[in-house]
Chain A
Amino acid sequence: MAIAAAAMAVLPGSALAHGDHDARPLVRQVPAGPYTISLWQVYADSATAMKPHLIVMFDGLGAVPPGVTVRVEANGRSLAVGRSNTTANGFETAEGLDTGDVVAVSVVDTGGSWKLDPLVVPPPATSLLPIEELLYGSIFLTIGVAWWVVRRTARAWRRPAPDVAGNVPAN
């Protein structure tokens, strides 16, 4: 913990990353006028978001192009959209999307407006692994190992310390 805290003090602030949640692509590299757009879902880094937000990302650009705005509708209802805190080249909805929501995205700039085909939010990928069984098995294994470690650690500290040459005094 102390080493990690020291490392955080030395490394730049950008090392404070988004956290350990995934972003999942809904659709990638779709043309919208002069732009190429990808739609991603990601949990806002607030620890209060119940549903993952939508990010409209401008592929290949370091930042959102000037003069561009994005409109997002979910099930016909307009959602509030702002610059993304997660990535500099994207807009992000202020609320999350549910599985099955129908999302319509439009990109608008001074040259025109381009509407992407409506998209139904797919269910999250189900794990191929029996994750609950794996988890319960891991918990029981860990309890057993922890008990073994406690007993062996206590034993190691009861044992007379080896001398400088590494010899352990006879019992």
Chain B
Amino acid sequence: MTTGTRRSFIDRLNTQWHERALWIYLTLVILHWIEHLFQAAQIWILGMPRPQALGALGYVFPWLVKSEVMHFTYALLMFIGLVLLRPGFRGAARTWWTASLLIQTWHLFEHSLLQAQAIAGQNLFGSPVPTSILQQAIPRPELHLLYNLAVFVPMVVAMRLHTRPSQAPVNACTCADAPVRVNPTGLPA
């Protein structure tokens, strides 16, 4: 690792910027995940027909759900975030983060298949609509709920492990440091 202003973007992202980058990333992941939960709740709790179960934003912007590009882009962004932020993790936290990355890699592959079919106009398995491999066994809303859950849980476990105070001497970032005590003026006490 180089020092000072010559450090690379990846170095900075995994040291001095890691904490803030991680929380911004997890916030985006949760917002996307909530959309999937909302859609699932519409189907299985509220009993809405599947074409009407468009999630929260999909109610206002139906093209968000109908567009393969949107789903593909989210999967790609999640994958990129997992790759870029991985070097900042150590020990068991890195193992869990890597598990999340591997599952997301498969999830992205499935979305790439769907995207390729949508662009080419040729669908797999003789289907009239784009379809993916595991969709042959599990319907799509269930499948993508599971994919996102399977990525989300190890990601959260990794972050809990990574931010434990005992990790502070091991980490090269500030994620596990003790909280700053702030006095009423907003300055460190």
Q: Which residues of A contact B (CB under 8 A)?
A: 3-4, 7-8, 11-12, 14-23, 25, 28-29, 38, 40, 42-51, 55, 57, 59, 84, 86-88, 90, 125, 127, 129, 131-132, 134-135, 138-139, 141-142, 145-146, 149, 152-153, 155-160, 162, 164-166, 168-169, 171
Listed residue (A55, A84, A142) with the most chain B CB atoms within 10 angstroms of its CB:
A142
Rounded to whole angstroms, the CA-CA distance of A155 and B12 in the bound complex is 20
Q: Does B4 contact A (CB under 8 A)?
A: yes
Say whether, besides A153-B23, A171-B188, A159 and B69 are in contact (CB < 8 Å): no
Provide the residues of chain B in CB contact with A84, threshold 8 Å: 128
In the bound complex, residues from chain A placing their C-beta under 8 Å from that of B100 are none
A15 touches B30 (CB 8 A): no
Q: Could you tell me if A15 and B119 are in contact, using CB atoms closer than 8 angstroms? A: yes
Q: A43 with B115: in contact, given A87-B128, A159-B180, A162-B16 (CB under 8 Å)?
A: no
Q: Is B167 an interface residue (CB 8 A)?
A: no
* B182 contacts across to A, CB distance below 8 A: 158
The answer to whether A135 and B41 touch across the interface, beta carbons within 8 angstroms, is yes
Q: Is the CB of B34 within 8 A of A142?
A: yes
| A22 to B127 CA separation, bound complex (whole angstroms) | 9
Whole-angstrom distance between the Cβ of A43 and the nearest chain B Cβ: 4
Is A168 a contact of B27 with CB atoms below 8 Å? no
For chain B, the bracket of interface size reads 35 or more
Among B41, B118, B138, B177, which residue has its beta carbon within 8 angstroms of that of A15?
A: B118
Q: Does the CB pair A152–B121 fall under 8 Å? A: no
Known: A50-B49, A145-B156. A15 touches B67 (CB 8 A): yes
Decide if B126 touches A38 in the complex (CB within 8 Å): yes
5 other A-B residue contacts (CB within 8 Å) besides A7-B73, A18-B130:
A4-B70, A19-B65, A132-B45, A135-B40, A149-B30
Task: Identify which of A3, A21, A25 gathers the most chain B CB atoms within 10 Å of its CB.
Answer: A21
A-chain residues with CB within 8 Å of residue B40 when the two chains form the complex: 131, 135, 138
Whether a CB of chain A sits under 8 angstroms from the CB of B93 is: no
Within 8 Å CB of B30, what residues of A? 142, 145-146, 149
Contact with A along B68-106 (1 / 0, CB 8 A): 111111100100000000000000000000000000000
Find the A residue at minimum CB distance from B122.
A62
A55 to chain B, nearest CB (A): 5
Tell me which of A3, A88, A165 contacts B73 (CB under 8 A). Answer: A3
A4:B69 contact, CB within 8 angstroms: yes
A46–B115 Cα distance when bound, in Å, is: 21
Residues from chain B with a CB closer than 8 A to the CB of A11 are: 69, 119
Question: Contact between A20 and B141 (Cβ–Cβ < 8 Å)?
Answer: yes
> Beyond A8-B69, A22-B139, A159-B174, is A15–B115 a contact (Cβ under 8 Å)?
yes
Once A3-B77, A20-B140, A87-B128 are accepted as A-B contacts, the answer to whether A134 and B67 lie under 8 Å apart by CB is no
Chain B contacts for A59, CB-based, 8 A: 126
Closest to B15 in A: A166
Answer yes or no: B5 CB below 8 A from chain A CBs: yes
